[in-house]
Amino acid sequence: MTISDIVRETLKTLNSNKMPLTPDNYAKMFCKIATKRGFDLIDCNRNKRFMSKLNPFLKEDTSKYNINTTEELLTYLIATLNRITGQEKNRQNLILVTLVKRLLQSMTVLHNKKASELANASLERIEYLADYNTFEIIKDKWFEFLTNYDESLFDKLKPYCHVDKSDLELTINEVVTALEHAKEDKTIESMASMIVSSLTPSLTDIMDDELATLSYELKNAPHIINTQDVQKRISNLVEKRIEIDREEVKNRILSLDELLGDVSDKIVNLVNNSSLSRDRISKIKRELQSFDHGKHNFETVKARLTKIADSLEVETDLLSKKMQKDDAVVRALQVKIKKLEGALSVAKKESKKDFLTALVSKRGLDEELNRVEKSFIRYKIEYSICFFDIDYFKKVNDTFGHEAGDVILKKLGAIFIDLKRDVDIIGRYGGEEFLAVLPNTPLSGALVFSEKVRKKVESFDFLYKNEAVPVTISVGVAHCNDYKDQKEMIAGADKALYAAKQTGRNRVMPEVL
């Protein structure tokens, strides 16, 4: 095929397609057919050669347009040249564009989300096309941002610290300082509450008015604890409390001594009107000496009664001739001794210490509950209680025996002692149920403590005769502020414990959020 053939085919194609025979249509169709027929003509590739000589910026820019002919290329170049008003103006524009970019880059690191987002969007727009229209759009967006900018968020900080809207760093430092002071205030408030609680006399209420006054002052202005005057008052109250407790103990000892003296007189009088023999009095002495009083401050009573028995033994020889044969009094004394032993046994059971778990007994818990409730009513010292109950304890006893149950109770007591604070009181409330009294503790703190105990019990290796015994506990927690009195509070904790049992056991209720 020759050039002439291509010319004829071009004319024929234009005619068949009913295209006007213009130079542009002829050139496009001619080059298209020539390329199709395998001809590489210089005239057909002239436009590509011209475009290949453009700089990279213009090459990239021309790729955005459909430029196929030399005339279209010339049209594009003329339009581009018309946009250029001179080298100096172009240089100024470049400097201004660079400056705007740097300002926008600076805004992206500002601590304002909307400003940063708008700055990034503006940068992307300039990078795409830095023309007049672009800057008009960016200008309008920033004008809208400044018009709608809300500085009222800074006003929320004014109740807590000084606010300088022109200096964000200074304002942040002021907020940090305010938070540190708030934390210090909370610590001082807690310390003040503990001081008032520790100053409360354990044996008498004689200091109530003074403590109530100090408690009120510290609660309303905790910082006064740092003043010399308040510290001096606290020091005086400490000395006064020690002296009051010492005097109270002295008075109670004297009362006990008078009571024992009266008992001695009555026994001597009874002997004078009885038919006691030396052997029988010796028997009474042996019975008195055989008392098992444990560790409940009965030793003084025992020593005094033994001394009375010694005196009776010495006096027996002198009184034997005067004694009557009736030994009813002796039998009555023996009955009384038996009753005394029974009373001591009951006292031991009702003592403040549970001997199996080494925790506080039910009686001790009742006294502690009464004490913290009085402190709450009088000084507003809050407290929480936690009921702990061993899950499926009856099953443990049935499977491993009651001795295994005692081992578990004892180990559980050791766990409580290990985890509790010095101010916390934990005791055996009955059977496999325990009660913790947590002074000066909010509900959240009581829940954390209960969860810590629950996890410790769950992971602890309880062993009986080298055999593992799985043990878990359920816990019900209550706080004094949530109930109108202590009776309702105890019922609330018991209800929470029941809920823990009903929802699967081995959990703390109410649940930790």
pLDDT of 341-356, one tens digit each? 666 655 555 568 888 9
CATH number of 431's domain: 3.30.70.270
Consecutive H or E run containing 383 = strand 383-390
Any domain includes 111: yes
Structural domain contains residue 176: yes
The most confident of the ranges 18-27, 75-84, 108-117 is 18-27
Judgement on whether residues 373 and 495 belong to the same structural domain of the protein: yes
Residue 439 lies in a domain: yes
Mean pLDDT check: name the lowest of 78-92, 195-209, 311-325.
311-325
Residues 378 and 502 both lie in one domain = yes
493 and 443 co-located in one domain: yes
| Averaged confidence pLDDT in the chain | 76
Position 102 pLDDT exceeds 70: no
Q: What is the mean pLDDT of residues 450-465?
A: 95
- Do residue 282 and residue 306 come from a single domain? yes
Question: Does any domain span residue 44?
Answer: no
The span from the CA of 244 to the CA of 482, in Å, is 35
Residue 102 falls inside a structural domain: yes
Indicate the length of the chain as a whole number: 513
Structural domain for 299, as ranges:
273-347
- The three-class DSSP label of residue 81 is helix
Domain boundary among 347, 375, 397: 347
Asked whether the predicted pLDDT for residue 277 surpasses 70, the reply is: no
d(CA 262, CA 477): 49
**Most confidently modeled of 168-172, 217-221, 251-255?**
217-221
Higher pLDDT pick, 341 / 473: 473
Last residue of a domain, one of 312, 347, 382: 347
Residue 73 maps to a domain? no
Q: Are residues 427 and 489 in the same domain?
A: yes
Would you say the C-alpha torsion 409, 414, 419, 420 has a positive or negative sign? positive
**Does residue 386 sit in the same domain as residue 503?**
yes
> Which 3 state secondary structure label does DSSP give 106?
helix
Q: Are residues 340 and 371 in the same domain?
A: no
The string of pLDDT tens digits covering residues 374-416 is: 999 999 999 999 999 999 999 999 999 999 999 999 999 999 9
Percent pLDDT > 90 in the chain is 29
* 40 falls within a domain: no
* φ, ψ (nearest 5 deg) of residue 112: -140, 115
pLDDT tens-digit map of 180-231: 666 666 666 667 667 766 666 665 666 667 777 877 777 777 778 778 887 8
Number of domains, the chain: 4
Tell the residue number behind the tokens 């001594």, with chain if given.
257
pLDDT at 460: 95
Residue 264 included in any domain = no
Please tell me the predicted confidence (pLDDT) of residue 295.
46
Q: Which of 191, 214, 249 is the last residue of a domain?
A: 249
| DSSP assignment string, 299-354 | HHHHHHHHHHHHHHHHHHHHHTTT--S--HHHHHHHHHHHHHHHHHHHHHHTSSB-
Q: What is the pLDDT of residue 278?
A: 54
414 plus 490 within the same structural domain: yes
Residue 112: is its pLDDT beyond 80? no
**Quick check: 99 pLDDT over 80?**
no
Q: 382 with 421, same domain?
A: yes
Same domain, 341 and 396: no
- Same-domain status, 138 and 204: no
Question: Which has the minimum average pLDDT: 4-8, 134-138, 194-198?
Answer: 194-198
Helix, strand, or coil (residue 26): helix
Which one-letter amino acid corresponds to residue 144?
E
Measured CA to CA, the distance from residue 274 to residue 406 in angstroms comes to 49
